[in-house]
Amino acid sequence: MSSSNDIRATFLGYFARNGHTVVESSPLVPRNDPTLMFANSGMVQFKNVFTGQERRPYSRATTAQKCVRAGGKHNDLDNVGYTARHHTFFEMLGNFSFGDYFKEQAISHAWELITKDFALPKDRLLVTVFSEDDDAAALWRKIAGLPDEKIIRIATSDNFWRMGDTGPCGPCSEIFFDHGPSIPGGPPGSPDEDGDRFIEIWNLVFMQYLEEPAGVRNPLPRPSIDTGMGLERFAAILQGKHDNYDTDTFRAIITESANLTGQDPDGPFRASHRVVADHLRAGSFLVADGVMPSNEGRGYVLRRILRRAMRHAHMMGAQEPLLYRLFPALERQMAAAYPELSRAAALITETLQLEETRFRTLLDRGLGLLEAEKAKLGEGEALPGDVAFRLYDTYGFPLDLTQDALRAEGRAVDVAGFEAAMTEQKKRARAAWAGSGEAATETLWFDLKEKVGATEFLGYSTESAEGTI
Ligand code: ATP
Ligand code: MG
Ligand code: MG
Ligand code: MG
């Protein structure tokens, strides 16, 4: 069986053999890019190389990039635990050409690597191309010998990539693996494509245009390639599993979580084990890259991730803080590839333990309140916004934690009501301060508060649950 570590090495080794420089993953917190919360794909560290603002001593690169998609444009937080293929933290394997090779070589490299080096059966693979990209369709026919019905043309933005409103853009082509008819879901482009039977494993982006302001699109003189393959999804296939959470890395953590909680990994708490394992990875890697839990910005995303995990640990009956005790299992699996995990082990362990210890009492009491309030509701009735706000304000429940807690019974939260309660609270707090005659101090105080955020006990908070994300 290929381990996740072997797969990463094989991927990087293949592209290194084919003239690519192996470049280290960039940190999760992007340098020089305040618009982006976390690195969410392999190309992030190469943005300026693609636009020509920066030159590197190589024109081909390959990476295993740490990615987090839990906020901003790509937010997979709500998928975790519920689909077989989404994580908040994952590794994206990629190869990049900066004005060097283009479509034909990108397709033949991808096909050779997965069907020869990794020996995936050709009849389980299918691809999508952008509806207007006849070149890509013809190349898949020529290089892979795929029949037309396995080269699916998609007209949506799923198959057209843009860096931003302007800048490099181009069609993309995605490779899917068919996990077989026993799993529900249809092929890409079909009405039930969101199922987990056909899983997207690799996205090849063909950057061939430059979008100018006013929507003018000109051909790039030297087109480029950016690709991304999800290591966890690929590992599932190679390890004969359907589900990412059944692969070596996740199983090691889930086994530990099962030992410590006494809950069967595949029993009624299956989703909880998965959420805990996923969030442990995200939390640990974020702390290793310098993010600390806080009430705003990146730190609040981290806090939300950790608190969500804690609710699941609590549901499994964990009497003691759980996450920090799972860290050694993660370290064993991943520190060889990411030594920062070991370098930051003490900080990670302490941070996880402290967050969980501090939140436990609030969590207990907040869940008690939630139960009491739920009992007052009719079937399918949404939780009133002011209750969700009270949970947020007094018990430190991020909105998404409350939503996650209600999800199992198909109950929603009145989000508009939640936001109205938040606005109301801020107004009251400011009014209470107005007229104190200390305008300068007051402004300073609010500025400071905006920066450091409120604590759970202060009675009101400065950020909306989604606001700063
Ligand atoms: P999906 O449609 O399944 O959400 P995506 O189209 O959003 O995936 P891309 O942005 O094309 O994904 O990223 C490239 C690759 O990274 C995907 O083909 C997939 O293998 C992997 N990937 C993307 N999001 C996740 C995630 N949340 N967890 C694990 N792997 C992911
Ligand atoms: Mg996605
Ligand atoms: Mg997709
Ligand atoms: Mg994609």
How many C-beta atoms lie closer than 10 Å to residue 277's C-beta? 29
What band does 243 get if pLDDT is binned at 50, 70 and 90? very high
Closest-CA residue, ligand 1 atom 21, reads: 230
Residue bearing the CA closest to ligand 1, atom 19: 230
pTM of the model: 0.90
Distance 76 CA to ligand 2 centre (A): 7
For residue 152, the CA-to-ligand 3 centroid distance in Å is: 14
Q: What integer pLDDT is reported at residue 166 of this predicted model?
A: 85
Ligand 1 atom at minimal distance to the Cα of residue 234: 20
| Probe target for ligand 1 pocket from 85, 232, 234, with the most ligand atoms within 8 Å of CB | 85
Name the closest-CA residue to atom 13, ligand 1. 228
Q: pLDDT tens for residues 80-92?
A: 988 999 999 999 9
Query: Is there an atom of ligand 1 within 6 Å of 47 CB?
Result: no
| Percent of the chain whose predicted confidence (pLDDT) is above 70 | 92
Could you report the per-residue pLDDT of 52-95, keeping only the tens digit for each? 889 999 999 999 999 999 977 788 998 998 899 999 999 999 99
- Which range in 23-37, 134-148, 397-411 is most confidently predicted, on average pLDDT? 134-148
Q: Which residues surround ligand 3, an ion (CB under 5 A)?
A: 200
For residue 416, pLDDT beyond 90: yes
Quote the pLDDT of residue 468.
32
The alpha carbon of 74 and the centre of ligand 2 are apart by a number of angstroms equal to 7
Task: Flag whether pLDDT at 346 surpasses 80.
Answer: yes
Pocket probe for ligand 1: among 65, 66, 90, 279, the residue whose CB has the most ligand atoms within 8 Å is 90
Q: Is 283 a pocket residue for ligand 1 (Cβ < 6 Å)? A: no
| Atom number, ligand 1, closest to the C-alpha of residue 200 | 18
Would you place residue 453 in the very low, low, confident or very high pLDDT band (cuts 50, 70, 90)?
very low
Q: Name the DSSP class of 378.
A: P
Label residue 354 by pLDDT band (50, 70, 90).
very high
Mean pLDDT of 160-187: 93
Tell me how long the chain is: 469
Under the banding of pLDDT at 50, 70 and 90, the label for residue 221 is confident
Which has the higher per-residue pLDDT, 282 or 72? 282
CA 429 / ligand 4 centre spacing (Å): 44
Q: How far is CA 1 from CA 20, 90, 199, 239, 346, in A?
A: 27, 21, 20, 6, 32
Residue 90 CA to ligand 3 center (angstroms) comes to 15
- What is the per-residue pLDDT for 437? 53
Q: What is the ipTM of this complex?
A: 0.99
CB of 87 shorter than 6 A to ligand 1: yes
pLDDT at residue 108 above 90?
yes
State which residues have CB under 5 angstroms from ligand 4, the bound ion. 203
- For the chain, give the mean pLDDT: 91
Give tens-digit pLDDT for 290-334: 999 999 999 999 999 999 999 999 999 998 999 999 999 999 999
Ligand having the closest approach to the CA of 244: 1
CA–centroid distance, residue 270 to ligand 2 (Å): 22
Q: Which atom of ligand 1 has the smallest separation from the CA of 76?
A: 27
456 pLDDT tier (thresholds 50, 70, 90): very low
The stretch 149-167 carries a mean pLDDT of 92
Ligand located closest to 201 CA: 1
Q: Which atom of ligand 1 is nearest to the CA of 230?
A: 20
Q: What per-residue confidence (pLDDT) applies to 116?
A: 97
DSSP labels for 390-432? HHHHHH---HHHHHHHHHTTT--B-HHHHHHHHHHHHHHHHHH
CB of 66 sitting under 6 A from ligand 1: no
- How far apart are the CA of 249 and the centre of ligand 1, in A? 18
**Closest Cα partner for 247 from 259, 262, 264, 230?**
230
Mean pLDDT lowest among 255-264, 306-315, 403-412: 403-412
pLDDT of residue 209: 93
Q: Is 202 in the pocket of ligand 1 (CB under 6 A)?
A: yes
Listed residue (151, 102, 117) closest to 16, CA to CA: 117
Residue of the CA atom closest to atom 1 of ligand 1: 200
Best of 200, 205, 232 for a ligand 1 pocket test (most atoms within 8 Å of beta carbon): 200
Which of these ranges, 77-86, 273-282, 328-337, 441-450, has the smallest mean pLDDT?
Answer: 441-450
Ligand 2 centre distance from Cα of residue 160 (Å)? 14
